[in-house]
A and B are shown apart, each in its own frame.
Chain A
């Protein structure tokens, strides 16, 4: 007996949560959003960190919570825990980001501890030495991971001598960084000017802003210029084959040009990416996983930095089918760049893109991440309905035009990391290949 798939009930209009925003006299922008689903508050603070020296900036992000003039690292951790809180810092090429959460009743205490670190971090010598050794060890481990090594090689190829080309410091660059260097960097770059604090949770937005103003108002000082120059255009050339002897898979990476979120054609490009490889029900995944079994989790997506965006496609494929997997990848890119997508597959991708926006907004953590990420690009949550409308309006022709411009395989920068002796001839049958050794020292 054949049963019929139930119809979908159309979505209600997008509802944005209540929020408040203020830029404080010290230059810090505070955005507070109410979502009271659970009695927690999410905290995200983004501090512009573009062009900061990589090794000290990376160590600073690891050592930020190691002490103030009144609290040790253990005191800070214990006091945060006491209100159910936890905070951690991370670095990307544009920003230092501090993220965490706490019980909603612990918001003020969490902000006090955060303020203590921002205004009074002392970087004690012993604790910094511990964090330095840990960071070196973590990077050593990263350098044994194929995904990391492939990314290192790809970034280098994409960005040349632009600051984005190297995003992980070499162990040898970290070893000489001392407490004094961290204090200097903190003094020049951990500043409120241009920083954005996002608070989301079971809070009164106005009250949360008043708390932030009272507690973080004493964090002052002008920020150094962190403007990152625009990224260079991608220079497609020979496929870069990075040798990793003994590798039982090959890590395939392709970079293509993309558009920033605010570009009028961005929604069409994003839909083109979806149809190609941006979700499970895409042509690329259905081809190289579900039809051919070459790989487990191929994926493509658009990565945004402040100074430029790129489309990245990644797959870990079995060594013996590395050439065939590249062949299918080039075929699928060529197909999306040359022929308009089908009506039905475009509608499916569109509904997926619209649905995932709603799913992403349905938790405190999701909202906080979205609001903070948007703020980093000068956008607010009110960009969501605009972007939804653009997704809904993009036609087959729009998507085909965006794909032709951005997804053409002739525009790709390609890196494959794997056992070169086993895969070089497979790859050389399809394109010109340039072979390199793994670069373990990244600076």
Chain B
């Protein structure tokens, strides 16, 4: 084994300020490529949507692209792409993001577009009905017409959690989507899309003074509205194992996913981080514990993944969340056997500890992944915006490779010891299609 490689760090500059109307701003200049990333994140997500309106946070995200005060329908797309850029948005459990990446000469245009919809989207019956249809097709593509659709991110939460915010289907039922009204959308905007509930972040090729002036020019007249009170979605931990299964009529082979609650990712970050590393120790690559055992040795699984957060966003999720393991199995695969083997391996890790070099090599690979993600301007603008929104700490992005490398063997062992079967929720996919 080669001697331990030094884990490098990034030193992206971070400037923070707050406009008079309460909008928080993060700037991270880097002039090494002539491109710029702009992100606006709002502190509302799937967990905040009202009962009877499953899927509404995501539907509303679509409506934010349908025009605003100075922009007709289709104008947002055309202005971003006609500037040589790309755009998108995404809805998560705890936040919703909107972003553009563009040649740097288009920065002010992107800021104009974001400010315009922050003042208010054009909410019309026609656009709402059109986007309900589009979202239904999105759900058909990603969930209903494909094997393993929504597995496990939509299928495991109702097994693990009791309360509506944590347990419900974030893509939404067709009935709820079709029931959505323009009034619902207006009140959702009024309540959650306040500039005091948002962060604007810009990363890439710009001058800080010039960008600051542009931001003041376009955002300072967005009316000040306070952020709503942040809800607490906490639930008690499981008191006994939970196992469910369902038949996927398209899937040809069985699969299983299990999850365990982990410490609060924000309030107790130091306790949480070892679980992030543990997920990689267990599942990252052919030399990881569970891949070696389940895929290579026992052949009880054909592929295996482990991560934290139902949407894989371990540094951008609030409490409660979980460490997830998912395995696809060969024909006739035995889910109970896979879970039992996972328990054996966790026991072995908790009892015998790590092998020499096992943690260091996992940390080195995690550092590569983290650094690779920050190489794109959006890979900085987006996480910095969310880290500001949820923690007031955008610079955490620079610190992560080092913090990951400082996690110690005994912390991994202690984390593994908490992943007991009686704290686990799992869901099995029973194949409904013949092979």
Most-contacted residue by chain A among B73, B101, B330, B365 (CB, 10 A): B365
Contact A74:B286 (CB < 8 A) given known A82-B357, A144-B251, A359-B103:
yes
Question: Known: A3-B116, A279-B81. Contact between A103 and B35, CB under 8 A?
Answer: no
A289–B286 touching, CB < 8 Å: no
Count of interface residues, chain B, beta-carbon cutoff 8 Å: 89
> Considering only CB atoms, which chain A residue lies closest to B288 in the complex?
A77
Contact of A6 among B108, B131, B249 (CB under 8 A): B108
Q: Which residues of B contact A104 (CB under 8 A)?
A: 8
Residues on B with beta carbons closer than 8 Å to the beta carbon of A73: 286, 296
B78 within 8 A of A: yes
Do the beta carbons of B368 and A86 come within 8 Å of each other?
yes
B365 touches A316 (CB 8 A): no
Interface readout for A244-281 with B: 1 if CB under 8 Å, 0 if not? 00111100000000000000000000000000000111
Indicate if A228 sits at the interface (CB-CB under 8 A): no
- Write out the residue numbers on chain A whose beta carbons fall within 8 Å of the beta carbon of B135: 296
Beyond A293-B133, A296-B137, whether A84 also contacts B367 by CB under 8 A is: yes
The answer to whether B73 touches A290 (Cβ under 8 A) is: yes
Provide the bound-state CA to CA distance between A84 and B148, in Å. Answer: 31
Distance in angstroms from A223 CB to nearest chain B CB is: 28
Contact between A145 and B146, CB atoms less than 8 A apart: yes
Q: CB-CB contacts of A70-88 with B at 8 A, as 1s and 0s?
A: 0001111111111111100
Please state if B371 and A39 are interface contacts (CB–CB under 8 Å): yes
Cα separation A359 to B86 with both chains bound (whole Å): 9
B363 to chain A minimum Cβ distance, whole angstroms, is 9
Which residues of B are found within 8 Å of A359, using beta-carbon distances? 35, 84-86, 101-103
Chain B nearest CB, measured from A273 CB (Å): 14
B372: contacting residue among A38, A74, A80, CB under 8 A: A38
**A342 sits at the interface (CB 8 A):** no
Which residues of chain B are within 8 angstroms of A361 by Cβ–Cβ distance?
Answer: 33
Residue B426 is within 8 A (CB to CB) of chain A in the complex:
no
Per the 8 Å Cβ criterion, residues 39-86 of B in contact with A are: 69-70, 73-74, 77-79, 81-86
Q: Which of A187-195, A211-219, A347-355, A393-401 contacts B (4 or more CB under 8 A)?
A: A347-355
- Minimum CB–CB distance from B298 to chain A (whole Å) comes to 10
Max count, chain A CB within 10 A of own CB: residue among B33, B74, B87, B376: B33
Cβ A84 vs Cβ B32 within 8 A:
no
Are B81 and A127 in contact (CB-based, < 8 A)? Answer: no
Closest to B355 in A: A78
Contact A103 to B287, CB < 8 A, known contacts A144-B433, A145-B147, A290-B130: no
Contact A281 B292 (CB under 8 A): no
CB of A22 closer than 8 Å to a CB of B: no
**A64 to B: closest C-beta gap in Å:** 12
**Could you tell me if B70 and A2 are in contact, using CB atoms closer than 8 angstroms?**
yes
The answer to whether B137 and A11 have CB atoms under 8 Å apart is no
Q: Is there contact, CB below 8 Å, between B328 and A39?
A: no
Check B386 for interface membership: any CB of A closer than 8 A.
Answer: no
Q: Which residues of A contact B84 (CB under 8 A)?
A: 11, 351-352, 354-356, 358-359
B374 within 8 Å of A by Cβ? Answer: yes
Q: Which residues of B contact A296 (CB under 8 A)?
A: 134-135, 137-138, 140-141
Say yes or no for A140: interface residue by CB 8 A criterion: yes
**CB closest residue in chain A, given B376:** A363
Please, how many angstroms separate the alpha-carbon atoms of A364 and B374 in the complex?
Answer: 11
Bound complex: CA A291 to CA B328 (Å): 39
B341 on interface, CB distance cutoff 8 Å? no
Give the complex CA separation of A11 and B107 in angstroms: 12
CB distance from B147 to the nearest CB of A (A): 4
* Residue in A85, A134, A317, A363 whose CB lies within 8 Å of B303: A134
Are A362's CB and B376's CB within 8 A? Answer: yes
With A37-B375, A81-B365 already in contact, the answer to whether A362 and B35 are too (CB < 8 A) is yes
Pair A137/B140 contact, Cβ less than 8 Å: no
Interface mask (A183-219 → B, CB under 8 Å = 1, otherwise 0): 0000000000000000000000000000000000000
The chain B residue with its CB closest to the CB of A127 is B296
A279 to B5, CA, bound (A): 43
Cβ-based interface call for B230 (8 A): no
Minimum CB–CB distance for A114 against chain B, Å: 15
Which chain A residues numbered 1 to 48 have a C-beta less than 8 Å away from chain B? 2-3, 5-12, 15, 35-40
Flag whether A230 is at the interface (Cβ < 8 A): no
Cβ of A365 within 8 Å of any chain B Cβ, yes or no, is yes
> By the criterion CB–CB under 8 Å, are B286 and A77 in contact?
yes
The CA-CA distance from A75 to B357 in the complex, in Å, is 12
Determine whether the beta carbon of B328 is less than 8 Å from that of A249. Answer: no
B266 on the A face (CB < 8 A): no
Is A176 in contact with chain B by the CB < 8 A criterion?
no
Q: Does A153 have its Cβ within 8 Å of any Cβ on chain B?
A: no
Q: How far is the CA of A430 from the CA of B206 in the complex (A)?
A: 52
> Is the CB–CB distance between A84 and B5 below 8 Å?
yes
The reply to whether A249 and B302 contact each other, CB–CB distance below 8 Å, is no
Chain A residues whose CB sits within 8 angstroms of the CB of B296 once the complex forms: 73-74, 127, 130
Chain A: minimal CB distance from B195 (Å)? 17
User: Please, which residues of chain A bring their CB within 8 A of the CB of B83?
Assistant: 8, 351, 355
Q: Is A297 an interface residue (CB 8 A)?
A: yes
Known contacts A141-B147, A351-B84; A40/B375 CB under 8 A: yes
Q: Which A residue sits closest to B133, measured CB to CB?
A: A293
Q: Which of A281, A297, A317 has the most CB of B within 10 A?
A: A281
* Interchain CB contact under 8 A, B360 and A82: yes
Task: Give the residues from 1 to 21 in chain B that come closer than 8 angstroms, CB to CB, to chain A.
Answer: 1-2, 4-8, 10
Which B residues from 251 to 310 make CB contacts under 8 A with A?
Answer: 251-253, 284-287, 292, 295-296, 299, 302-303
Does the CB pair A358–B8 fall under 8 Å? no
Check if B77 sits within 8 Å of A280, measured CB to CB. Answer: yes
CB-defined contacts of A144 to chain B, threshold 8 Å:
146-147, 250-252, 433
Contact at A11–B74, with CB atoms within 8 Å? no
A162 to B283, alpha carbons, bound, how many Å? 40
> Closest Cβ of chain A: how far from B24's Cβ, in Å?
22
Q: Is the CB of A101 within 8 A of B372?
A: yes
Asked whether A362 lies within 8 Å of B377 as measured between CB atoms, the reply is yes
Instruction: State which of A36, A37, A78, A279 has its C-beta within 8 Å of the C-beta of B287.
Output: A78
How far in angstroms is the closest Cβ of chain A from B383?
Answer: 14
* B372 close to A348 (CB less than 8 A): no
Say whether B82 contacts A358, CB under 8 Å: no
Closest CB-CB distance, B433 to chain A, in whole Å? 6
Q: How far is the CB of A425 from chain B (nearest CB, A)?
A: 21
Q: Which of A290-313 contact B (CB under 8 A)?
A: 290-297
When A249-B140, A363-B376 are in contact, do A77 and B287 touch as well, CB less than 8 Å? yes
| Across-interface contacts of A246 in B (CB, < 8 A) | 249
Contacts A103-B367, A249-B145 given; indicate if A40 touches B372 (C-beta within 8 A). yes
Q: Among A103, A133, A249, which residue has its beta carbon within 8 angstroms of that of B299?
A: A133
> Given the complex of chains A and B, what is the CA–CA distance between A161 and B111 in angstroms?
53
CB neighbours of A247 from chain B (8 A): 145
Q: Is residue A423 contacting chain B, with contact meaning CB distance below 8 A?
A: no
Which interface residue of B81, B330, B377 has the most chain A CB atoms within 10 A? B81
Most A CB atoms within 10 A — which of B7, B8, B362? B8
Residue of B nearest to A285 (CB): B77
Question: What are 27 A-B pairs with beta-carbon distances under 8 A?
Answer: A2-B70, A5-B70, A6-B112, A12-B34, A38-B371, A77-B287, A84-B368, A85-B368, A101-B368, A106-B364, A130-B296, A133-B302, A133-B330, A140-B252, A143-B252, A146-B145, A146-B146, A246-B249, A293-B130, A293-B137, A295-B134, A297-B138, A355-B106, A359-B86, A362-B34, A362-B376, A363-B375
Q: Given A74-B287, A79-B2, A359-B35, list of 10 further CB < 8 A pairs?
A: A5-B79, A40-B368, A82-B360, A103-B8, A280-B81, A296-B135, A355-B84, A355-B103, A358-B34, A363-B376
Give me the 5 closest cross-chain CB pairs, A-B, nearest first.
A355-B84, A293-B133, A9-B105, A84-B368, A362-B33
